[in-house]
Structure 1
């Protein structure tokens, strides 16, 4: 009996400890405050770093640049709708929030709400009369998903403040807290006060906001509060009408006030966890192409403000998050299960013992620089590649017997083939040299490579192909460190891709792997199978390439080569049988490489497909076709795409063998098939088709010159 009592006592004690820990964990996730500061950019962050009174405030925060691309035009409303739904979405004309007693076109807002919806609203509740129109505008997007989820799990929701400009009402903060009926608690106008010298004659009333936060803490065990800080927005709205000197004065004052407010929130025990984000940057930053908005996160551990390094599985890059991450991050804070509409992932916080502000700003500056100069650098580079092909074509047509001109042509061709390698391994030189100097450096290194390889290397095409294939593979295995900042990589500001292998390098990677097969060793059936399987797995893996179009194209490419090399009699029926077998196998590999606990955009598409959401798949296909057409019409890559395809078509039309060697001829045919497959399947197929066909044309020309 004594033993039973002891065991019972120990069990009760263990349960109390576990429950105590559970309560403690619940308390850690009890209150979250979000400050929404429209028109706040990294220009203001840098000013605060240099001139602020509380530098440690920014150094100890978790900081990232946030992609703010909405579904439609760039605006505060479109961005706020996207942030609050976790999906790129759109706002509607005349969208706003109101409280009882406010007048709209000489009619009380609550009366309009009843006239338009048939519903009544209680006193002190914030409401949105045009919610039904916003829902209709964004078909299949759950409007109010944050607020509704919080309400179902017993979390109180409040919004404080506004961004009103004179008589124009701008209240988009409530989008983060309203439920699916468009209702939320809080105060819109009580958080501002009259100030004759301030833009629009009002400024944030910090004392009233502190009182509200204190009341919320006393009243609610769990709460989510959004503070819409509109002073910076009002300032930039009135900038054109203000004298330059007075604008600077108000600019500095508004930033100091914001910093003071955040400092007091954290040191005055008003909040435990605090997020600050900008749903849009002001026009000056936007025109300067600094289009990632600031995001900050402060948290306390036992009352001490912690330094964080923020990471997102959506971007897999340091100091970069997506606007689609905010909604799941808020719900994850309260341990609320995620719903299926979220593509973004909760932001992860890693406690560190050092300030990362300087490192973060340096990374962001490089992103901004690449984005600003990308169009000029790539247009110049692509034009040079087109000129290179035209010059070599003329040499082959006119001076193909002249050894000097043939050597010049070979150097030009190897220079062109080597240039993507230099773009891959040197992007961080942009931290030290200007983009125009960088382009000259790439040109110099490419021509030097061409000259040395032609002079010293017996088989430069094979060696370069191996170098490019290995370099891209290594970069993929080490987290795309080089590719994500390369001009031939992808841009976080555009937000089409954050990780894996981009379409420019995808075309180059496929053809580089294919050209390894010119060596007899790689044509051994087992080695060829391992090369094909390894390429497909690298391209499909969520941790590596994560490129579905390139994966399928790789399968088609190696399947075509296998058939053309091992079967001498060409028959379309046999080829179609092989391809119809290869594609399902590649799709199966693509699916199984997603089952590693880390969902990518490919895994998300598979989940939609298996759930029967064929509309999502059809919409994705439609979007990819539209993107390809848009790229074809407006992109610089169209020059290279048209040139390379015309040159290949010319040879096919003339029915002339480019090279006499049978293996090389099959490799060229296979490369053309791979390029066409990339064009059809990839979302930016014009780009990958252009880069892949460029390598094929250069290779075929080089082999033709060698054979004389």
Structure 2
């Protein structure tokens, strides 16, 4: 009778424990999903509300008027990576160093569900993942193989006649197909939403530059930049994406280089409002996009270069880009107007990709801000990290506009990182190195861990047949099984040591669970001891996960079993893997504790009988 009562009480306690665990998990999940504020106490957000602050109000002595509306310039350099922001490069590039040290910095995840640079630009312009495959810009009067951009627009678009009649400079003939294809996708993206919103509010739009690769027997056209700021008809009012922005230079990639003199002159005229000026009283600023293709063309033909010659060309291209940045920032500072410069990159070059530096740099610079800081967004909630979908809401925010329905991205804002004596750039480069190390180790360690767990389980099943006559083998197997239970906790704890070298980090991840498992097995030779050890492992692992969550999830963000900012499936909170570990560890600890409670009266009875 007494044993039956104990079992019923244990069952009730067990059921209550399960209910409590599920209630806690449900609260955490709802907090993450619906943004309930108490979630900060559980660490599901990696930045507290006090750490992310709105973009500081820029100081300006210029009285706001119709001639002092925001002038935003976006410089896109496909292929640029954080490798070019290392000190050894910045020492030779004064303008880029100025932007990196006095501007606001972040690393951007440009991985989108669709392939190609066109999809990144389309995502920047839609504020949600968008498929830009097949989209490219044409100049209004341009002809290819007897076809003109105007004829294509008139043929494909329902409102093609209206687009042709307007005085636009750049067209995207594939816009009708882009609009239809994205409307059928899961994200319901609206290509051109950024440009259409800005146009509707009187902001002038212009785009210049291309990634064309002329010569070599073929004429390859690549002009994705207009997809970023085109309007709802696939047009941009001002700009030039044709070959007129290139000049011949046999020493440069594809025997051409960007005509920076012309770009600066075109930009100056556009900023002054002498081109694409809307009706009187509706000019509320301008957004200019420049795409510099020399860096992209250089890496496109890298296989043809000798290493020394390629290094020389890299310096030449970067120095040319730096001179352009120097001229633009100089004119912005001297103009007295409200200029903002954004430097972005839609992809990294092949060398950075191999080294796992796959996040691209993004810099926001203004002469009114003298001290550099890191940036963040509510999409990532991590200092120094933003997503591609955040670009459109951020550019809208420069003009005081809120994001329209259809954009899932959130504005990029200034973020206060943890107190550090290093510069924001040094902090960001250090974080990038840690992310790259973890990203490189993740496949090896996780596949190895899965194989190890399967092997241990199979050995355990085999050893059951000879466990009684071979007690030493049983103890060894117990140690191996303990190591499997301890592995998730060890991988989480190693997140605090992500700054270590990759070989040392991998060695600790492999040896620490085995060593701890053998120690646990040595102290668990009897059943009561075994149950207590299992209880401590479960409770300890669950407590470690919750403790890390309450302190900002710093270990989880850098653990190989946590979420990866390079993949971008999740940026904060408790990831799917560790949520499963938390549930399993909590149930293990609770079950072991109830088992010990059930065994205790029996042990006391036996002790009394003796």
**TM-score in terms of structure 2 length:** 0.76
Pairing 1:359–2:401 present: no
Q: Deviations over 1:622-655 (max 9, x none)?
A: xxxxxxxxxxxxxxxxxxxxxxxxxxxxxxxxxx
Contact 1:99 1:127 in 2 (8 A): yes
Q: Does 1:187 align with 2:252?
A: no
Q: What's the offset of the Cα at 1:348?
A: 0.8
Counterpart selection for 1:85 from 108, 126, 131: 126
Structure 1 segment 299-314 matched on structure 2, within 5 A = 299-301=366-368, 304-314=369-379
1:290 is paired with a residue whose SS is coil
- What SS does structure 1 have at the residue aligned with 2:332? coil
SS at match of 1:263: helix
Shift of the alpha carbon at 1:246? 2.9
CA contact (8 A) 1:39 1:279 kept: yes
Do structure 1's residue 127 and structure 2's residue 194 form an aligned pair? Answer: no
CA separation of 1:407 and 1:22: change in aligned 2, threshold 3 A: farther
Deviation at 1:495, TM superposition (A): 1.1
8 Å contact from structure 2 (residues 100, 372) kept in 1? no
What residue number does 1:346 align with? Answer: 411
Rounded to whole Å, the distance in 2 between the matches of 1:178 and 1:199 is 28
Contact 1:92–1:137 (CA under 8 A) maintained in structure 2: no
Distance 2:259 2:465 in 1: 77
The residue aligned with 2:264 is 210
Alignment of 1:233-248 (within 5 A): 233-248=296-311
Structure 2: distance between partners of 1:355 and 1:465? 41
1:161 alignment partner in structure 2: 209
Task: Give the secondary structure class of the aligned counterpart of 2:374.
Answer: strand
1:503-542 correspondence runs (5 A): 503-518=576-591
1:175 aligns with 2:202: no
Equivalent of residue 67 in structure 1, options 96, 109, 117? 109
Partners of 2:516 and 2:234 lie apart in 1 by: 63
Matches within 5 A, 1:542-621: none
Indicate which of 406, 411, 415 corresponds to 2:474.
406
Per the alignment, in what secondary structure is the counterpart of residue 141 of structure 2?
coil
In structure 2, C-alpha distance between the alignment counterparts of 1:27 and 1:309, rounded to whole Å: 30
Q: Per-residue deviation at 1:519? A: 6.3
Q: Distance in 2 between matches of 1:400 and 1:71?
A: 55
Return the alpha-carbon distance in structure 1 between the equivalents of residues 167 and 398 of structure 2.
30
Q: Distance in 2 between matches of 1:363 and 1:25?
A: 42
Match of 2:28 in 1: none
- Alignment length (residue pairs): 502
What is the CA deviation profile of residues 25-62 of structure 1, one whole-angstrom value per residue up to 9, with x for unaligned ones? 99987121111111212222335235433534322222
Offset, 1:107: 2.9
From 540, 546, 566, the counterpart of 1:473: 546
| Distance in 2 between residues matched to 1:65 and 1:398, nearest whole Å | 56
Could you list the per-position Cα deviations for residues 464-521 of structure 1 after superposition, in whole angstroms to 9, with x for gaps in the alignment? 111111111111122211101101101111111111111221111001122332366x
Q: Is residue 503 of structure 2 the alignment partner of residue 443 of structure 1? A: no
Determine whether 1:232 maps to 2:295: yes
Match of 2:51 in 1: none
Which structure has more helix as a fraction of its residues?
1
Deviations, residues 162-209 of structure 1 (Å, cap 9, x unaligned) = 221112222111112211001112222444333232222322222222
Q: How far 1:299 moved relative to its partner?
A: 2.4
Q: Say which SS state the counterpart of residue 233 (structure 2) adopts.
A: coil
Matched, 1:261 2:324: yes
Alignment check: 8 A CA contact 1:311 1:319 kept: yes
Structure with higher RCO (Cα < 8 A, 6+ apart):
2
Whole-Å separation in 1 of the counterparts to 2:309 and 2:473:
66
1:92–1:133: 8 Å Cα contact kept in structure 2? no
TM-score, normalised relative to structure 1: 0.66
- Answering whether residue 321 of structure 2 is matched by residue 273 of structure 1, we say no
Partners in 2 of 1:223 and 1:123 — Cα distance?
17
Question: Aligned to 2:251, which of 197, 219, 222?
Answer: 197
Q: Indicate how the Cα distance of structure 1 residues 425 and 29 shifts in structure 2: closer, same or farther if over 3 A, else same.
A: farther
Evaluate the alpha carbon distance shift between residue 22 and residue 142 of structure 1 in structure 2; reply closer, same or farther with a 3 A threshold. Answer: farther
Residue of 384, 391, 397 corresponding to 2:459: 391
